[in-house]
Structure 1
Amino acid sequence: MVLRQQQPPTADFVDAFQETIIPSAIPSSEFIDWDDIEAAIKNYEPQIEAIRDLEDTTEQAFIDGLADALMDADDTRKWIDFYFEILGERGNKYSAREGLWKFYDVQRAIDSGTRTEAVSLAEVLQEMGLQYVVDRVDIRDHYRGMLVGMETHARKNRQGTCFENAVESALSIIIDTLSENGYSAELEAEYTTAYNDQSGQKKTVDFAVFVNDRLAVVVEANCYKGGGSKPSEIRRSYNHVASRMRADDVEFVWVTDGQGWAKSLTNVLRQSYEDITDVYNLHQVEHELGDDILAYVESEC
């Protein structure tokens, strides 16, 4: 059984879906997480103030100053991370033609009192250009700019979070509608349920809709700004999940959206509808899914 009350031909469904997709789930107001950026700057205030004292010094004084700060640090690794982040490097190690510096090993040596290790790392940082940066720019502004540049990677995760938040808001309205119609309805995020078979396997879904204390509908939510193989892989996976869920009398809904579905994923969208059927974009969730779930619940009851 499926939820959709209206099941148009595949071509009509694809046209209606693509006409109402959203290009991205991220609102312009959340394009950059300014609060997170300012919090990151505040987190490094002691390091920023200390390195500002090394402006316009000699090369040797700069190296000695970095080494002194590392030797005096309560949290050596935090200072190491800060110095390298100013130069656009994040991770657990730094590698160059001259060698490899594993930060844990460096930290351990410095914490044991080995000043030569601190000096060696300071020399590497100076050679990389840390002194050049300190002498020519405001460190806070520079670091802020670095973090803005790193937002490109952060937005990959934010895309999913924003979309899940939008879907959750729409589902909450559906829950309210079910309640207004006399049903005991609840919505739970990140719900794990076991399949009703001998496999012992479990599935964690983005959202679960309970009606009269029974798991009635599960929802997975994904947004794609571009094409690629991932949506096709997800489609095959969700087709399998949908079959198993429906065998347990639980309806499976895939809510998906994004510019990726406009043209490049047309074939995947067509196959998804033919296999799963209960595929909705955010617009369809807001205008169709509530009526579909209500009709399904009424028929079940």
Structure 2
Amino acid sequence: MGTKNDVFVYDKSSSTFEFLLDNLVDSIKGWNYFVNWSKVKENVKDIEIELNILNYLIGKENIREELKYLLRRNPEIIRAIPFLIASRDNKFEILNLGANNTFSLEIFDFNKKFLKESDIENIINFIEKTGLMELFKDKTIKNLVDYVFGVEVGLDSNGRKNRSGTAMEDLIETFLKNICSKYGYEYFTQATPTKIKSEWGYNVTVDKSERRFDFAVNTGKKLFLIETNYYGGGGSKLKATAGEYKTLFDVLNGDGHEFIWITDGKGWLTASRPLQETFNHNKYILNLKMIELGILEEILLGKLDIR
């Protein structure tokens, strides 16, 4: 049974699988999901001097001549210009269609340390055609440091998908770190067979050459390999993942190692059949609720050995 005297017990019963499905979470977003403020501040600080020099241009009437003056005197300011148009690139190839319907490429390079007069004209042309010139002139932007801070916040929002992708790993690592510290176990993340061999001497056979486990744990008696993921929505990938981890379990079991799959998310409600097939086949499939109840700790301690 999945419960005993109101205490959850992990086994291979249907009630355990029902517990798995009944306790899937809607979200694993943490407070760090929204904005990585330290990264934003670091990115702005990296170009703050250049931005303050460019502040000189705000409100000037003869922007072209003032730009020439600044670029001749402080050529390093060009590295800040791509940030003003919310770009991480520092070299651009722009396709132009000429009057005679022929295409040409204009190249703008903001990596240069020294600027010739032709480079300065090229950069001014870029600033003009991207609309930055007017922003400087009509004082739409009051302070470039504050402006780029806002730009960086916007660019960082693009990292939310990546933060969601690693959120499950971050949650599990919190538990793993505590367990390993408590019992003197060793673990590391993004574990490759090569690293496992060099660090601990275990040979690990993999089902694909680029296999990189989310976690590897060495208890001193046994090697545990852990994969984690979260699926908030359905799709064909869930069925494929369930099948992949059935195969992976067989490969690792043949080496004498333990494989733990930790997954969560309401997406599994749309793919419960392939999940149940893998649950019945593999030894350990856990969700966050089971981790919270101490099942991962029991497994690593060797107190829970499903045959």
Partner of 1:209: 217
Residue segments in structure 2 that go unaligned for 5+ positions in a row: 1-8, 98-103, 195-202
Offset, 1:255: 1.4
Give the Cα–Cα distance (whole angstroms) in 1 for the partners of residues 160 and 286 of structure 2.
23
Letter in 2 for 1:207: F
The answer as to 2:287 corresponding to 1:281 is: yes
Give the Cα–Cα distance (whole angstroms) in 2 for the partners of residues 198 and 36 of structure 1.
36
Give aligned pairs, total. Answer: 280
Offset, 1:247: 0.5
The answer as to 2:252 corresponding to 1:245 is: yes
Give the Cα–Cα distance (whole angstroms) in 2 for the partners of residues 202 and 129 of structure 1.
45
The answer as to 2:43 corresponding to 1:44 is: no
Task: Give the structure with the larger helix fraction.
Answer: 1
Offset, 1:120: 2.1
Aligned CA distance change for structure 1 residues 197 and 188 (closer, same or farther; 3 Å): closer
Give the Cα–Cα distance (whole angstroms) in 1 for the partners of residues 148 and 266 of structure 2.
32
Give the Cα–Cα distance (whole angstroms) in 1 for the partners of residues 171 and 300 of structure 2.
18
**Which of 76, 85, 101 pairs up with 1:87?**
85
Letter in 2 for 1:208: A
Partner of 2:275: 269
Partner of 2:190: 190
Give the Cα–Cα distance (whole angstroms) in 2 for the partners of residues 72 and 227 of structure 1.
57
Give the Cα–Cα distance (whole angstroms) in 1 for the partners of residues 66 and 188 of structure 2.
53
Give the Cα–Cα distance (whole angstroms) in 1 for the partners of residues 120 and 242 of structure 2.
52
Give the Cα–Cα distance (whole angstroms) in 1 for the partners of residues 208 and 234 of structure 2.
34
Partner of 2:101: none
SS in 1 for 2:215: strand
Moved more, 23-32 or 127-136: 23-32
Q: Structure 1, residues 87-130: CA drift from partner, whole Å, max 9, x if none?
A: 22332425354554445xx357x556432232123222222111
Partner of 1:136: 140
SS in 2 for 1:253: strand
Give the Cα–Cα distance (whole angstroms) in 2 for the partners of residues 235 and 246 of structure 1.
16
8 Å CA contact 1:14–1:269 kept in 2: the answer is no
Q: Structure 1, residues 258-283: CA drift from partner, whole Å, max 9, x if none?
A: 4544x444455344424545221222
The answer as to 2:256 corresponding to 1:257 is: no
Partner of 2:225: 218
Partner of 1:6: 11
Residue segments in structure 1 that go unaligned for 5+ positions in a row: none
8 Å CA contact 2:72–2:115 kept in 1: the answer is yes
Aligned CA distance change for structure 1 residues 7 and 199 (closer, same or farther; 3 Å): closer
TM-score w.r.t. the length of structure 1 is 0.76
Q: Which has the higher contact order (CA 8 A, sep 6+)?
A: 1
Give the Cα–Cα distance (whole angstroms) in 1 for the partners of residues 207 and 267 of structure 2.
35
SS in 2 for 1:89: coil
Letter in 1 for 2:297: G
Give the Cα–Cα distance (whole angstroms) in 1 for the partners of residues 267 and 256 of structure 2.
32
Give the Cα–Cα distance (whole angstroms) in 2 for the partners of residues 298 and 266 of structure 1.
24
Aligned CA distance change for structure 1 residues 161 and 69 (closer, same or farther; 3 Å): farther
Q: Structure 1, residues 67-101: CA drift from partner, whole Å, max 9, x if none?
A: 4544555657xx34x32222223324253545544
Q: CA RMSD in A?
A: 3.5
Letter in 2 for 1:187: Y
8 Å CA contact 2:26–2:232 kept in 1: the answer is yes
Q: Structure 1, residues 126-176: CA drift from partner, whole Å, max 9, x if none?
A: 221113333212323322222222233211222233322220121233335
8 Å CA contact 2:262–2:288 kept in 1: the answer is yes
SS in 1 for 2:94: strand
Aligned CA distance change for structure 1 residues 245 and 63 (closer, same or farther; 3 Å): farther
8 Å CA contact 1:188–1:207 kept in 2: the answer is yes
